[in-house]
A and B are shown apart, each in its own frame.
Chain A
Amino acid sequence: MDRRRELDQLLPLRPVEFDILLSLAVGERHGYGIILDAEERGLGAIPDVGTLYRALRRLEDQGFIAASERRAAPDAQDERRNYYKITAIGRRLAQAEANRLVALTRAARTSGLLGTTS
């Protein structure tokens, strides 16, 4: 399978895409849930709603995430929300990005940008 190389071509992911995959790796979420997760992580920019949904649609088209049937609470508002879950290939993509980031961190450490013990 050349799948691995295909995935590598998609790296690095955009911050919003990685945010989505990170959140969905934990469990199913709707859009606002992903934003809240990103806020909680407290790293840099929180994605705009429009940016987020465009990315969701893109990732869905490419098969990295899928719409979920699950409904958290069956009230009127919740019916309008789209819930998403990560797919197997999506998880592999997130892993590839995470590995890339680990490799970068390692490189940063070797070049003395980060303390060796931290």
Chain B
Amino acid sequence: MSTSPTLRVSRRWFRALLWLYPSDFRDEMGEAVVETYLDRCRSALERGGRVSLAGVWLSALADSLWNGPAERLRPAVSWRRSGDWGRDAQLVVRRLLRAPLFSLSVIGTLTVGLGAFAVVLTLVEKVIVEPLPYQRPGDLYFVWRDYSSFFDLKRGWLGGPDVTDLARAGGAIEGAVGLRRNRRTIAFVRDESAEPQEIGVMESSANLFTLLGVQPVVGRGFAPTEAGPDAPRVVVLSHDLWQQRFDGDSTVLGTPLRLNGELFTIIGVMGPNFHFVRHSSLGAPEGAAAYVTFPYDMGARDPRSGAFAGLIRARAGASRSQLQAAVGAVGAALDEREFGKQGLALYAVGVQEDLVAAVRPALLVLALSAIFLVLVLAANLGTLLLARAVGREREFSVSRALGADSVAIVRSMIVEAATLGALGGAGAAGLAVWGVRALVALAPLDLPRRETIAMDWRLGLAVTLIGVFLGVAAAVLPAVWASRSSLAAMLRTSAIRGGGGGRMRRSLVVVQVAVCLILLSSGGLVARSFEHLLRARPGFEPDSVLTFRIPIAQWRFPDNASAVAMQERIERSIAAIPGVDTVGAGSALPLGAGTDQSTIALPGAPGNTGVPEHDDVFVDVMQVRQGWFAALGTHILSGRDVGPVVARARREALIDRTLAAEFYPSGNPVGASAVINQDTVTIVGVVEHARQYDLHRDGRPQLYLRDADDTYGALSFAVRMHRTPLDVIPEVRAAIHRLDPQLAIADVRTLDAVVDDALREQRVSTALVSGFALGALLLAAMGLFGVVAGAVARRRNEIAVRLALGAHPHRVLRMLVQEGASLVALGILVAVPGVYLAGRTLQATLIGISAFDPSTLGGIAIATMVVALIACYVPARRAGAIEPAAVLREG
């Protein structure tokens, strides 16, 4: 080769560019293409020297970048142009029927895998993505007051004047509504014999429905005049209540009902899809069964007593920042007028964003796990189809040699995979209908929009299409491989039975192992976090305790003494039930986030620092009757329980462990006093902290007041017994109704159920994520098994030769297992960044464990390795069964 150095470099460059083309083109045309480029180079050098040479180089690059991939895609493109679909479909069906095991296993895997994906997709779509069913839902905001310059509360209720000022503000604020939710006992004037029931009631300004842009389906909403002190008392029912208590009878309009004894006229019924919830300062959002208006003038309320949620609508087209500015301006004006500029600010939070904020991290984790599962599924499907294509290599090569068009081969494979994908996707959509129902039954009770979560035809169609897409995507690699298999190449390779598709298949296995490891590590962490939560000691003993709430309505028991007397009678009648050990009552059950909050002072306590932010401590306040702690199993650490009320005795209270540790680090608080709302109470004991919010960590410090000093009214009762609590429910109901048939008994649950409900989110996530992870492990193991089994089959001759030449079967076995193990090791390496990113995503949802916990992650890696080695070992053992003589004779 008498070429100049310039041309030698050029040749190398053009050769490199050839890699952009598919191998068959390279084999056939490569040298000629390079020579042609070199011809151009020579003439360019003659004409313009090195500058034109660079031009040839660049144009060759552009040329190859375009034509190389285009040539690779040629089968797919011409497939699109031509073809006989009907015949293809017929052939595909025939082929699939001929391999029922293959078809069923693919469809089954897709159905289960995509079914799980569909369930999560539905959950995410219905909870996070789908807009709320109000007019322009993106323009609705809740407004909160930031109290942090006073005490530790960033999200406080508004006062009445806040709401009226917001409504009057104009500008970016189109309208404002005040909301308050409470529970009332409903009684039916029509049917006095019906058992009284406690329901959630939403009290609001008259324009609630107008602001939301939703109207009742029966009757009408509130007129602007129907709120305030002199307005007629009217009520709008929720669809559920209307169905349950009035059997959907529209003649109820205009008839009266009683809420806490007060008469209301029914004017409307909301539609079945209206599930409005009022967001809350601290607890979960709450809905209501009936809607009424404020019986007072909001503007005349005490601006300092925060009691309302503020819901506002932004004017159409107003930006978020304009709205925040408008809300901020109203807040600043109020701060100056009512609080003497203490820096109490108002701010707005989007309704949908706020509604889903708490579940978003958990849903994100679920969604990512589901996507990873689908990735493993796609890779697994790819290996299966590739294995099938390799099995048909001879058929492809022969038919190509006989003149079959490579396009036809690609087409038939893609149609086959798409058919499998469509069947699997449709099966998954069907399965997901039940899956979603099961999930909703297990889902946290306060999961936002729980009632709207169900599969619909759009999601079903989407899942089916995803199945088709998955099938086609998984078929592309094998199809392109098969379309290029030629008889010559096959004869060449089959001499050593090297077999094709090996590299593709091995890369697919690496991908599967990697994604599977990411899923497993997430599953492991979520499971460890759940285990941690199960072991948490929440400050009470939940087993064998029945709880329920009995509102003692003020309209029937107007003074403290009569209410307390009723409570005592209830306690006595329950205590008389056989098997009951202790009865207690308190204003808030643990884990219910149902306490009041207040700032208190502990004058004279050694822990006081003189700094008002520290000494005026913001606590959860509960009211309890004697026996509450014993019934819950909350230990009294020092001092005693509240005693019975003695006329003109001191007010009694207990503080919890955290408050005692902060303010009485060494001394004994018993006998000291606390000041709450200008009242002085005497501390008679210190109790364990019974957790109010999360199972796994303490909440605010707690103060327990003796309820009998000034009763709360609607106390929850806790009954500890040595019987099965659920069996005692009828006796409890009977005992209470014997006392007074008009008492409503609400929220009858065991304390175990209260704890279980608190565990629901973690339990569902754990079950789903670890289920996905185990499914992925199974798929990856199947893939690995297939690769090693394929290797054994392909290398029969080679193995036979080795054995015949005296290789020990163990060595052969080790060689094969090593091949699989190296893929697993590679997969584990590839997974490291993924595990890291998954950990970062998970971090927010984990409890009591780091996202990079070495023992969990190490254990998972080892477990994966072990499963993978087994998946390699089992098929590799078949190599030992090869009889060299027999194989060599055939070969």
Interface residues of A (CB under 8 A from B): 30-32, 35, 48-54, 56-57, 76-77, 80-82
Asked whether B19 is an interface residue with its Cβ less than 8 Å from the other chain, the reply is: no
A53 to chain B, nearest CB (A): 5
CB atoms of B67 and A31 under 8 A apart: no
CB atoms of A50 and B40 under 8 A apart: no
On whether A50 and B32 interact (CB within 8 A), knowing A32-B39, A57-B25, A76-B1, the answer reads no
Question: 6 interchain pairs (CB within 8 A)?
Answer: A30-B35, A32-B35, A32-B36, A48-B62, A57-B29, A77-B1
Interface SS of chain B: helix
A71 to chain B, nearest CB (A): 13
A77 to chain B, nearest CB (A): 6
Which residues of B sit under 8 angstroms from A76, Cβ to Cβ? Answer: 1
CB atoms of B31 and A51 under 8 A apart: no
Residue of A48, A50, A51, A52 with most chain B CB atoms under a 10 A cut-off: A50
What range describes how many residues of B lie at the interface?
A: 20 to 34
Asked whether B615 is an interface residue with its Cβ less than 8 Å from the other chain, the reply is: no
Residue of B29, B60, B63 with most chain A CB atoms under a 10 A cut-off: B29
Bound together, the chains give a CA A53 to CA B24 distance in angstroms of: 13
B32 interface neighbour in A31, A48, A51, Cβ under 8 Å? A31
A13 to chain B, nearest CB (A): 16
Asked whether B192 is an interface residue with its Cβ less than 8 Å from the other chain, the reply is: no
B67 interface neighbour in A32, A48, A56, Cβ under 8 Å? A48
On whether A48 and B39 interact (CB within 8 A), knowing A31-B32, A53-B32, A56-B29, the answer reads no
CB atoms of B1 and A53 under 8 A apart: no
Which residue of A is nearest B62, CB measured? A48
Bound together, the chains give a CA A35 to CA B37 distance in angstroms of: 11
Bound together, the chains give a CA A35 to CA B34 distance in angstroms of: 14
Q: Which of B11-52 contact A (CB under 8 A)?
A: 21, 25, 28-29, 31-40
On whether A30 and B63 interact (CB within 8 A), knowing A49-B37, A54-B71, A57-B25, the answer reads no
CB atoms of A81 and B66 under 8 A apart: no
A40 to chain B, nearest CB (A): 13
Bound together, the chains give a CA A103 to CA B757 distance in angstroms of: 83
Asked whether B68 is an interface residue with its Cβ less than 8 Å from the other chain, the reply is: yes
Bound together, the chains give a CA A30 to CA B650 distance in angstroms of: 112
B7 to chain A, nearest CB (A): 10
CB atoms of B39 and A51 under 8 A apart: no
CB atoms of B59 and A48 under 8 A apart: yes
Interface residues of B (CB under 8 A from A): 1, 21, 25, 28-29, 31-40, 59-60, 62-64, 66-68, 70-71
Which residue of A is nearest B21, CB measured? A50
Which residues of A sit under 8 angstroms from B29, Cβ to Cβ? Answer: 53, 56-57, 82
Which residues of B sit under 8 angstroms from A81, Cβ to Cβ? Answer: 31-32, 35-36
Bound together, the chains give a CA A53 to CA B21 distance in angstroms of: 11
Which residues of B sit under 8 angstroms from A57, Cβ to Cβ? Answer: 25, 28-29
Bound together, the chains give a CA A75 to CA B191 distance in angstroms of: 111
B558 to chain A, nearest CB (A): 95
List of 9 A-B pairs having minimum Cβ-Cβ separation, nearest first: A50-B67, A32-B39, A48-B63, A80-B31, A31-B36, A82-B32, A50-B63, A32-B36, A53-B29
CB atoms of B28 and A49 under 8 A apart: no
Bound together, the chains give a CA A56 to CA B62 distance in angstroms of: 19
B63 interface neighbour in A31, A32, A51, Cβ under 8 Å? A51
Which residues of B sit under 8 angstroms from A48, Cβ to Cβ? Answer: 59, 62-63, 66-67
On whether A53 and B36 interact (CB within 8 A), knowing A76-B1, A80-B31, A82-B29, the answer reads yes
Bound together, the chains give a CA A114 to CA B70 distance in angstroms of: 38
CB atoms of A53 and B33 under 8 A apart: yes
CB atoms of A54 and B32 under 8 A apart: no
Which residue of B is nearest A60, CB measured? B28
Bound together, the chains give a CA A80 to CA B15 distance in angstroms of: 13
A43 to chain B, nearest CB (A): 19
CB atoms of A35 and B36 under 8 A apart: yes
Bound together, the chains give a CA A73 to CA B25 distance in angstroms of: 25
Bound together, the chains give a CA A32 to CA B14 distance in angstroms of: 15
Bound together, the chains give a CA A50 to CA B66 distance in angstroms of: 8
CB atoms of A50 and B64 under 8 A apart: yes
Which residues of B sit under 8 angstroms from A53, Cβ to Cβ? Answer: 25, 29, 32-33, 36
Bound together, the chains give a CA A54 to CA B29 distance in angstroms of: 9
Which residues of A sit under 8 angstroms from B67, Cβ to Cβ? Answer: 48, 50-51, 54
A31 to chain B, nearest CB (A): 4
A84 to chain B, nearest CB (A): 10
